[in-house]
Amino acid sequence: MSLTELLLQAKAKKAEEFLFVVGSEPRVRLSSGWVSLRSSPALMTEWNLLQQSLLNNQQKAVLDTTGVVQGETSFESVRIGFSFFQQDSTMKAVLDMDLDGSRQEIPLPPSLLETCLRMKGLVLLSGPGEAGQVWALHRILQKLSEEKSFVGVVFSRKAFPQVREAKACYLYHNGEFVRSEEKQSLMAGVDMVVFDGLDDEESFEEALALAEKGLFVIYSMKAPSVINALRRALSVLGEKYGEHGAPRLAEVLSLASGQYPMSGLGGEKIFAHEVLLMKPQVRSLIEDEDVKGVESLMLNSSENSGILTLNQSLLQHLIRRRVDLKTAFEVSRDPDNLDQLLKKVGI
C-alpha cells in the first residue's frame, strides 16, 4: 500500500491522527482507539516522500537543522496539521487529520466561560487528551476573541486549529526556541498565554510565573480528573519551591475544570464536566495542600456552590436524555452518590 493510499485510507476512516514511524506499522487514531493501516513497517523511502508531499523547502531546512518542525498544509482539499521529528535513527511524523472537518461544537459550563472572560489569573483545564479537549479550548479562545481585544500566544506541540479572529489576535508557536531573544520578542506586549498539551514541569512553572506577573494564562493538560491535575501541579511546585509552592498556586488559580468524553444515546460523543471555582474555602484547602479536602468538597457540594461535580454533570445529561444509565454509572467515580441524585429527581 503506497503512502498516498495510506493517507486516503486514513481520511476515509475519518481518523483523528495519523502516526508514521520508520520501522513501525503506520497507524491511525479513530474515535474507538488506535488501529494499524497495514502489517508492513513504514520505509525510509516513504519518509522522504512524506516530507516532499507536506513540507516546503524552508520547513525541510528547519527539520534538518533542529530535528523538529510543525505546521499545517492541505491534502485532498483537507487541512491537516503535522509534526515531524528526526534524531539519529528515529524518524516520526504525527498528522492531525482534517483540522476543520473534525471540529466539534462542545457545550461548556457557563461558569468556565464567565471565568475565562474575566481574563485574570490561571485557569487549569484537564481531560484524557483526546480531540474534544482541544476543541473545548478552541471554543473558549473563539469566545474571548469575539468579546475582548487583546494579543494572545498559543503554545502547542501540535498544530492548533486556528481561531477565527475578531477583536483579538492570536500567535501560534510550538514552544521551541533556538535563542532566548526569540521568545522575548514573541512575548512582548502579550496579554494572554495558552499552554496546550505541554505537561512538563517547566511549562507549568512558566505558566504560574506568567500568571503572577498579571497575564491571563490557560493551561490545558492531560489528566483523568481535576483532583489528579491539582495533585500533579502541587507536586511539581512542592518539589521546586517547597512550602511556598502551594500558596503561590492558591493565589493565582481562578478555576480548574475537567472534561470527559462518553457515548451518547445516538452514538455521538458527548462530554461531562467538573468545575472548581476558587472560592475562599477552596483556596484555603489548596494553600494547605489538602487535596483530599478538595476532593471531599467536590463530591459533596450542593448546586450553585461554584462547584460542578461530575455526578451533577452526568445527572444533567440523564435528565436531557443524552446518555443512558449504564453509561452514566460507568463514567461516575461515585456511583452511590449518583444514585442518590437520581432518586432526588425521581429517576
- pLDDT value of residue 260: 92
Q: Indicate if the pLDDT at residue 179 is higher than 80.
A: yes
Task: Look at residue 101 and tell me whether its pLDDT is greater than 70.
Answer: no
pTM of the predicted model as reported, rounded to 2 decimal places: 0.74
* pLDDT value, residue 3: 77
Cα dihedral 70, 74, 76, 79 sign:
positive
pLDDT in tens, 310-319: 999 999 999 9
Cell of 220: 490545558
Top-ranked range on mean pLDDT: pick from 35-39, 176-180, 207-211: 207-211
Predicted pLDDT of residue 31 = 73
**Maximum average pLDDT range among 65-79, 92-106, 189-203, 244-258:** 244-258
Beta strands in 46-199 (DSSP E): 68-75, 78-87, 90-96, 122-127, 151-156, 169-173, 192-196
Domain coordinates of the chain in residue numbers?
A: 3-96, 110-308
Give the per-residue pLDDT at 15: 84
Percent of the chain predicted with pLDDT > 70: 94
For residues 220 and 137, the answer to whether their CB atoms sit within 8 Å is: yes
CATH superfamily of 110-308: P-loop containing nucleotide triphosphate hydrolases (3.40.50.300)
The pLDDT tens digits of the residues spanning 282-312 come to 999 999 999 999 988 887 776 666 789 999 9
Looking at domain 3-96, its CATH class is: alpha beta
What is the arrangement of strands in the sheet containing 122-127, beginning at the earlier edge strand? 169-173, 151-156, 192-196, 216-222, 122-127, 253-263, 269-277, 307-308
Model confidence at 165: pLDDT above 90: no
241, pLDDT greater than 70: yes
Neighbours of 341 (CB within 10 A): 18
- If one compares 221 and 178, the residue with the highest pLDDT of the two is 221
What's the pLDDT at 76? 65
Element (H, E) at 216: strand 216-222
pLDDT in tens, 15-60: 888 999 999 999 998 877 889 999 999 999 999 999 998 888 888 9
pLDDT band of 102, cuts 50, 70, 90: low
Same fold, 3-96 and 110-308: no
